[in-house]
Chains A and B, each alone.
Chain A
């Protein structure tokens, strides 16, 4: 009874509508829009990774784009060097593992060193910027790994994901990306509801107290950081293979802030809100890009600022809450509180 009631909430309804829309969408539109939406889905994985690390574990990472870049580049380097029918699939794995590994190593140094809160943000942002400056100077021919030329700002050529000799594009690619995004989402929802996920929620509220309950807080932080790094790397792999291209600007300052903005606007505590709002905002940013490209980031910056100041749970989560309350008032004898775990946390000062 209780379980059934808690499943029927605005967040889940929105997810089902979103899912149905994405399934139907390709048969209603042209090839270009299908490809474009596949690109949105690739990027929204990065928003999911940030919602996991920031919303579920209270770690604000600005390094998701660094892992994104590591994933994209490593996928490219592997698939350019290894020829084979399933090379791209192993390449995806290589990219994801590389991103996860870099995150695990950095996470080990940070969390076992006792670094937390704003310093994690600073360190991860520094990593992003250093990686960008490093990749930016790889234009010369001496910067190549086997067949793969890194090519600095000219960008690196990246092979597409392919079955045998046939590169995926159009609807099959769309549904591959769709399956991956939904798969990651479902995995994260399940993890967030597991014992481990509850531990994360606890350590977000109060680390020392969680530790006294017997949780290995630092290990859990490294685990979630590595997982989020792997997902961001997956996003990078899908992005790079989608456009057959990756360059260092995907790790720049502007690139690093965009997932934070998407998640802050949508709502970091909800994976659903992060995923859906990032797709909507990507669409919005693209339509702005054709008319007023410079203004897009100013508008997004303002929206994020307003969200942090006045709607800290995020606009979409706030909307979910309003709908839940409205339904709650109208429904008879629904004892569960509508919004589940969405309790804006009181941060700890230092």
Chain B
């Protein structure tokens, strides 16, 4: 009995952490700029490659993942300045453009490094409960995702950057009038979201094979989590990841990976019918109800 409960909890936290880590970078960018970075999966792929290459060169694993996050952040900043910035106010075009960037990245990686690369296996080994063996590393991923959320909360709530970022989200024009350099905020946020994608890619690199289409394994999860979570990356995304993680774990354990994915999509389609702005929209409405005077809209 205990085994069953533990297994369910384990599956849930694995699903949760994969959904959260895949989606959080996408959600941060979306929440700030309304832009969906369709190269997100390829940014994760880039993180995975940087981690793998660094680790096979003898760089300690933790450092390799940090390098990956920083490298992808720098790349993201370049993409923002060269591409996304030119498309403010043309949301659909920015989606199409970032998709083209993603295509160039994955195909370019295929040309540069070939169809696959020797990966690094996940550290820490495994432990057994009852008959089943579990990976320590995947437990660690759950811990990392919670720590990451806490850090993001501190970043957005307790720093100058966070204050300016929230001001820009709330009203870009007023923020600009008060001296916030909003284009710079956008670039920094895009770099932050890219760093999170690189980090996720680096973390997942230890659990998967390293191929140029690495990102496609995670983007469905990232998309549905952002759709269900809505614009608030700090609240909406984790709740969505928990909700979808529960569904994914329940269906996935019972019927396999594919049915788990189908379940995610169907849940998402039903949720958008009820909550077009996702969980963030629901929370916003709920928060605004007692004191309507605080609302601008």
Contacts and interface: CB of A to CB of B under 8 A. Distances in A.
Interface of A: 54, 58, 60, 106, 109-110, 112-115, 117-119, 121-123, 125-127, 129-130, 133-134, 136-137, 252-254, 257, 260-261, 264, 294-295, 297-298, 300-302, 304-305, 308-309, 312, 346-350
B252 to A, nearest CB: 12
Given A122-B226, A308-B87, A60 B95 contact: yes
Tell which of A117, A118, A347 has the most Cβ of chain B within 10 Å.
Answer: A118
A253 B91 contact: no
Contact of B103 (A110, A125, A252, A257): A257
A126 B40 CA distance: 14
Contacts of A312: 90, 93
Interface string B275-293: 1100000000000000000
Contact of A350 (B34, B97, B111, B273): B34
Contacts of A349: 34, 88-89, 91
B281 to A, nearest CB: 10
A109 B108 CA distance: 37
Contact of A109 (B30, B92, B226, B272): B272
Given A115-B276, A117-B92, A123 B216 contact: no
6 contacts: A119-B276, A122-B226, A123-B268, A264-B100, A298-B108, A347-B91
Contacts of A60: 92, 95-96
Contacts of B219: 125, 129
B90 A347 contact: yes
B220 interface: yes
A166 B209 CA distance: 48
A309 B226 contact: no
Interface of B: 30, 34-36, 38, 83, 86-93, 95-97, 99-101, 103-104, 107-108, 110-111, 213, 216, 219-220, 223-224, 226-227, 256-258, 261-262, 264-265, 268-270, 272-276
Contacts of A257: 99-100, 103
Contacts of B107: 294-295, 297-298, 301
A298 B213 CA distance: 14
B224 to A, nearest CB: 6
Contacts of A125: 38, 219, 223
A134 B262 CA distance: 8
B219 to A, nearest CB: 7
A305 B83 contact: yes
A309 B92 contact: no
Nearest to B97: A308
A346 B101 CA distance: 23
Given A109-B269, A109-B272, A117 B91 contact: yes
Q: Which of A112, A122, A304, A346 has the most CB of B within 10 A?
A: A122
Contacts, number: 141
A110 B272 contact: yes
Contacts of A298: 103-104, 107-108, 111
A180 B245 CA distance: 45
Given A134-B262, A260-B96, A302-B100, A126 B224 contact: yes
A166 B89 CA distance: 55
B111 A294 contact: yes
A304 B100 contact: yes
Contacts of B89: 346-349
Contacts of B258: 133-134, 136-137
Given A112-B273, A350-B34, A118 B95 contact: yes
Contacts of A136: 258
B92 A302 contact: no
Given A122-B227, A134-B258, A349-B34, A302 B104 contact: yes
Nearest to A349: B89
Given A118-B36, A308-B93, A312-B90, A130 B262 contact: yes
Contact of A347 (B92, B216, B264): B92
A123 B270 CA distance: 11
A267 to B, nearest CB: 13
A218 to B, nearest CB: 11
Given A122-B223, A297-B107, 15 more contacts: A115-B276, A119-B227, A122-B36, A125-B219, A129-B219, A133-B258, A134-B262, A261-B100, A294-B107, A298-B108, A301-B107, A308-B97, A312-B90, A312-B93, A346-B90
A114 B261 CA distance: 24
A308 B110 CA distance: 24
